[in-house]
Structure 1
């Protein structure tokens, strides 16, 4: 995971909150990381409207 890297959300898990579906195929920038378990961390993505969400790495595509 590289900070300030541009990414695009390519897929969303079927159990995801419906508010996140709005960001499918949108481009954002990795600004940090979040630890979701003791062994796993995920990137935090910021969009142009300053909204921040975290996604699994397999759901992202590098630009």
Structure 2
């Protein structure tokens, strides 16, 4: 598996472990573990994980941050 910036595709993670990795400062809260499906670059070239969410995973996004997503 390829490891970039401590993220590995296919790795099982707790979303709470990547709270500070997003330049958009999206806050995640996790009920179950999730898997990293892939990686992408943010506009300022920070590598971000693409996360496969489980049925019981919950995500909260602060309203003032929504415009900065994608």
User: Please, what TM-score do these two structures have when normalized by structure 2?
Assistant: 0.45
Higher relative contact order (CA 8 A, sep 6+): 1
Structure having the higher strand fraction is: 1
Structure having the higher helix fraction is: 2
Larger radius of gyration: 2
User: Please, what TM-score do these two structures have when normalized by structure 1?
Assistant: 0.49
